[in-house]
Amino acid sequence: MSENLISVVDLGSSSLKFLIAEETEGNASIIGVGIVPSKSINKGVVVDLNKASEALVQAKKQAENMSGKKASPVYVTVSGAHIYSLNNKGVVIISKEGREISQEDIKRVEESAKVLLLQPNQRIIHVLPRQFIIDGQGGIRNPVGMSGIKLEEEVHIITGSSTALYNIEKCISMAGLDFDTFVAQSLSSSLSTVSEQEKELGVALLDIGAGTGDLIVYSNGNIAHSAVLPIGGEYITKDVAFGLRISLDEAENVKKNYGFVLTNRGEIPQGEVEMERIGLKDKLIVPYTEIGEIVSSRVDEILEGIRLELMKSGYWNSIPAGIVITGGCALLKGFTERASEILEIPSRVGLPRNDFALTNILNSPEYSASIGLVMYALENEKTLKRRPEFWKGLSWLKDLFE
Ligand SMILES: Nc1ncnc2c1ncn2[C@@H]1O[C@H](COP(=O)(O)OP(=O)(O)O)[C@@H](O)[C@H]1O
Ligand SMILES: [Mg+2]
């Protein structure tokens, strides 16, 4: 039945990932998967509507064929340099004498927290609750039924350029799909890779794909900071191509198959790699170390950018659980080890939860955002339908929506 279907699309700069999930009696399973290269999405932004929607049609068809179902309105990830985020606070007076806080009061304080001077052309994507404060007492997650005089709410707001968002919606309708909701890529990836304990302790999540590095920081269980940085695997590939004078396709192969990051303690592989030259028949022979040096200088630069962003956020000292790295670049050998060295915090690869994926294909950091999107959608539908039994396993997600 169509009301139990969830369709999501992760608009990556390297590939479009389309998933169809089905929910039956509180259990969800991913029953359709479509993955196609996305040449016309550049750093999260649609640069060619026709090509992007053609790719979307292909991805949708793959997922529909596999599942035997027709896609429902889609949840879509957003990323790109047009995304801004900030923390804001709303305040309302409950009553002079103090009385019980109602759902109505929550709505009022949310409205107040949403009031901010947006740049022209910016649209709000998320208003995510961080904490409620009653008469100066913070750390409250659900104040309904508590008594107080003054209610404050701290929120994390994520906005995006209305034209960039419009173009995505247009692309979706051109592909014959209905649109449901935008979800920031960093938030989406964090849902499938980061544990509740890590969020309580303080943790950063970096989803680094081909064109963007999407960062989100949790502290005391709440979203503290998020940012999109214009960095990703395509920069490493371009440098390999440029440095070795080989084609971009060959550079991508070399990076994936032989690329590694030099770390303080890692072994340096010996030997040489044979590769295609542009327009020439004879092969090019390159020592491993040379590939490692090119890859490493770019990776170090990327990680310095992350370090700067974390320091700027003010939370670098508040993430003892370290950084979880996901997205395709997390597959690069030595990347997480080097991250730990440069950022001076623990680091691990973020693999997405796979307890409801029926296929092993999705068991890779490249699918963290799309699987997180399914989780977001499930929780969102549950809230809409007001069916508390809908998805038992995701109680930790509830805070985001209450
Ligand atoms: N084994 C690997 N080693 C190094 N980089 C990889 C590997 N596998 C994928 N990548 C890189 O990851 C990126 C794609 O990751 P993905 O998260 O799917 O990106 P996007 O979401 O932007 O489409 C590409 O830049 C690709 O080169
Ligand atoms: Mg991605």
| 204 CA distance to ligand 2 middle (Å) | 16
Residues with CB under 5 A from ligand 2 (ion): 12, 209
Q: How far is the CA of 16 from the centre of ligand 2 (A)?
A: 9
**Quick one: 147 and 225 in the same domain?**
no
333 CB less than 6 Å from ligand 1? no
Q: pLDDT band at residue 186, thresholds of 50, 70 and 90?
A: very high
Query: Are 204 and 292 within one domain?
Result: yes
Domain contains 381: no
Is 0.85 surpassed by the pTM of this model? yes
**Going by C-beta distance under 8 Å and a sequence separation of 6 or more, which residues neighbour residue 369?**
10, 12, 17, 77, 185, 188, 189, 192, 207, 214, 327
- Give the Cα separation of 8 and 371 in Å (integer): 9
Asked if residue 236 is part of any domain, the answer here is yes
Residue 356 pLDDT greater than 80, yes or no: no
- Spacing, Cα 366 to ligand 1 middle (Å): 7
Is the pLDDT reported for residue 397 higher than 70? no
The dihedral sign for the CA sequence 24, 78, 337, 199: negative
Q: Is the CB of 13 under 6 A from ligand 1?
A: yes
Residue 119: which domain range? 84-161
Per-residue pLDDT, 13: 94
Are 13 and 232 a contacting pair, CB within 8 Å?
A: yes
For residue 54, is it within any domain? no
CB atoms closer than 10 angstroms to residue 110 = 15
Residue ending a domain, among 135, 161, 187, is 161
Instruction: List the residue whose alpha carbon is closest to atom 10 of ligand 1.
Output: 328
On whether both 155 and 205 belong to a single domain, the answer is no
Distance from Cα 361 to the centre of ligand 1, integer Å: 14
Strand boundaries in 135-233, DSSP class E: 137-140, 147-148, 150-161, 179-184, 203-208, 213-219, 222-229
Verify whether ligand 1 is closer than 6 Å to residue 214 (CB atom): no
| Residue-wise pLDDT tens digits, 240-270 | 999 999 999 999 999 999 999 999 987 888 8
Domain total in the chain: 2
Please give the number of the atom of ligand 1 that sits closest to the Cα of 212. 22
* CATH number of the domain enclosing 145: 3.30.1490.110
- Where b means 16+ CB within 10 Å and e means fewer, 303-323 reads beebbebbeebebbebbebbb
Identify the band that residue 388 occupies on the pLDDT scale cut at 50, 70 and 90. Answer: very low
- Choose among 374, 372, 287: nearest CA to 324: 372
Please give the number of the atom of ligand 1 that sits closest to the Cα of 327: 17
Rounded distance between C-alpha atoms, residue 132 and residue 135, angstroms: 10
Beta carbon of 14 within 6 Å of any ligand 1 atom: yes
| 13, part of any domain | no
How remote is the CA of residue 261 from the centroid of ligand 1, in Å?
A: 15
